[in-house]
């Protein structure tokens, strides 16, 4: 399939694996890139620019296809060494960066000077327009359904994607709730040039996370996620569990008085316990409503081949067939 996104990034299929904390290691990023999509290493999971440099080198050993790095700009008292991470990306020869969180304006000159293509992930049309204005090459439009941070507007992709198509000149991919060929074909119909998946890629053979995490996604339905941290205006969609229930109880009790410190036990630094040790009640972890559409744990290549094969059948069979019948 050829779209503005496959052309921009030099990839075979218009499918991107979004950056994911403690999931986006070289194993997954290289598997996605080897299967013809765009894999992303999650920069901040590496903690230091030196470690990120090593992870980039490790990924390069595993694939000769294009891959990228996710850089998430978080609200933080002591911000991570972003200039250092950008230096590691440039020195590692990476040519694609997915930014997320705050807009990347401050770092655009350094990235552009190094010939890096920037795709910014955002949850509102106004933020997508800002990304376009500061020189991003593409955006990833993350709807209310998404795992992780959906923002505070609560606009689902049925509305958000056509709105993005109306407003943007640069290409965009649909993100949030994407799982299969139906997602891809629908996203293309709504004006996107591809799709970005998070949760779906966790439930694959190559995702370097504990099998309990993959099994939890397969077992979950579309009703099993919860929104946490809304009172802090840092809303996150997570899989429901005992710890999330406890956190939500505190949110109800404290109302507008809630501070991050009140819920730190349920969310701060919990990813290693969940993703690596498979302790599923250790805290809240990002997961999309799309879990309801995930029923297996294929290899990344099986998943991507299936999506591309079924997309062709959907377009040539179902959609074209409907036109033929109507004529």
Ligand X SMILES: Cc1cc2nc3c(=O)[nH]c(=O)nc-3n(C[C@H](O)[C@H](O)[C@H](O)COP(=O)(O)O)c2cc1C
**Binding stretches for ligand X (CB under 6 A):** 18-21, 23, 42, 70, 72, 100, 121, 142, 145-148, 175-178, 196-200, 285-288, 290
Q: Which residues contact 150 (CB under 8 A, 6 or more apart)?
A: 123, 142, 143, 144, 176, 227, 235, 237
Instruction: Tell the smallest beta-carbon distance from residue 173 to ligand X (Å).
Output: 10
Instruction: Tell the smallest beta-carbon distance from residue 71 to ligand X (Å).
Output: 8
For ligand X, the closer of residues 222 and 320 by Cβ is: 222
**Contact (CB, 8 A) for 305 and 35:** yes
Instruction: Tell the smallest beta-carbon distance from residue 326 to ligand X (Å).
Output: 33
Instruction: Tell the smallest beta-carbon distance from residue 222 to ligand X (Å).
Output: 11
For ligand X, the closer of residues 107 and 285 by Cβ is: 285
The residue of the chain with the least Cβ separation from ligand X equals 198
- 3-class SS of residue 270: coil
For ligand X, the closer of residues 2 and 263 by Cβ is: 263
Instruction: Tell the smallest beta-carbon distance from residue 284 to ligand X (Å).
Output: 10
Which of 21, 20, 16, 54 lies closest to 35 in space, CA to CA?
16
Instruction: Tell the smallest beta-carbon distance from residue 166 to ligand X (Å).
Output: 22
Which of 209, 233, 183 lies closest to 287 in space, CA to CA?
209
Instruction: Tell the smallest beta-carbon distance from residue 191 to ligand X (Å).
Output: 18
Which of 226, 227, 228, 234 lies closest to 76 in space, CA to CA?
234
Instruction: Tell the smallest beta-carbon distance from residue 139 to ligand X (Å).
Output: 12
Instruction: Tell the smallest beta-carbon distance from residue 112 to ligand X (Å).
Output: 20
Q: What is the 8-class DSSP label of residue 42? A: E
For ligand X, the closer of residues 144 and 248 by Cβ is: 144
- 3-class SS of residue 17: strand
**Rounded-to-integer distance, Cα 245 and Cα 254, Å:** 14
Instruction: Find the helix or strand (DSSP H, E) in which 174 lies.
Output: strand 172-175
Whole-number CA gyration radius for the chain: 19
Q: What residues pair up with 8 in beta bridges, in sequence order?
A: none
For ligand X, the closer of residues 73 and 92 by Cβ is: 73
| Assigned token pair, 19 | 């950056």
For ligand X, the closer of residues 108 and 174 by Cβ is: 174
Write the CA distances from 140 to 128, 132, 248, integer angstroms.
Answer: 8, 11, 29
Residue 62 phi, psi (nearest 5): -95, -15
Alpha helices in 118-241 (DSSP H): 125-133, 157-167, 181-189, 199-202, 211-219
**Half-sphere exposure for 289 (CA within 13 Å, toward CB):** 16
For ligand X, the closer of residues 296 and 320 by Cβ is: 296
For ligand X, the closer of residues 144 and 168 by Cβ is: 144
For ligand X, the closer of residues 29 and 197 by Cβ is: 197
Phi-psi group of 54: left, alpha or beta (phi > 0 → left; psi -120 to 50 → alpha; rest → beta)? alpha
């Amino acid at each position: 399939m050829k779209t503005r996104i496959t052309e921009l990034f030099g990839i075979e299929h218009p499918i991107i694996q979004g950056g994911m904390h403690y999931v986006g290691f070289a194993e997954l990023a290289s598997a996605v890139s080897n299967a013809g999509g765009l894999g992303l290493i999650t920069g901040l999971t590496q903690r230091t620019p030196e470690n990120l440099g090593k992870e980039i080198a490790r990924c390069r050993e595993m694939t000769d296809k294009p891959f990228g790095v996710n850089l998430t700009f978080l609200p933080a008292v002591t911000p991570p060494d972003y200039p250092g991470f950008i230096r590691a990306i440039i020195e590692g020869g990476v040519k694609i960066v997915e930014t997320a969180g705050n807009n990347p304006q401050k770092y655009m000159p350094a990235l552009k000077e190094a010939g890096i293509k920037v795709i910014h992930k955002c949850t509102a049309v106004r933020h997508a327009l800002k990304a376009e204005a500061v020189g991003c090459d593409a955006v990833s439009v993350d709807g209310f359904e998404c795992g992780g941070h959906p923002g505070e507007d609560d606009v689902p992709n049925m509305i958000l994607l056509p709105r993005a198509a109306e407003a943007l000149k640069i290409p965009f991919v649909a993100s949030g709730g994407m799982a299969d060929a139906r997602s891809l074909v629908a996203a293309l119909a709504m004006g996107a040039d591809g799709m970005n998946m998070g949760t779906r890629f966790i439930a694959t053979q190559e995702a370097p996370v504990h099998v309990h995490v993959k099994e939890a996604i397969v077992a979950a339905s579309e009703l099993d996620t919860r929104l946490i941290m809304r009172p802090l205006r840092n809303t996150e969609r997570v899989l429901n569990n005992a710890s999330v229930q406890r956190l939500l109880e505190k949110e109800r009790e404290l109302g507008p008085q809630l501070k991050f410190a009140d819920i730190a036990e349920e969310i701060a630094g919990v990813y290693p316990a969940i993703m690596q040790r498979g302790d599923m009640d250790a805290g809240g972890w990002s997961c999309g409503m799309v879990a309801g559409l995930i029923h297996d744990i294929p290899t990344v290549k099986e998943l991507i081949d299936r999506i591309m094969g079924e997309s062709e059948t959907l377009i040539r069979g179902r959609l074209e067939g409907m036109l033929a019948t109507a004529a």
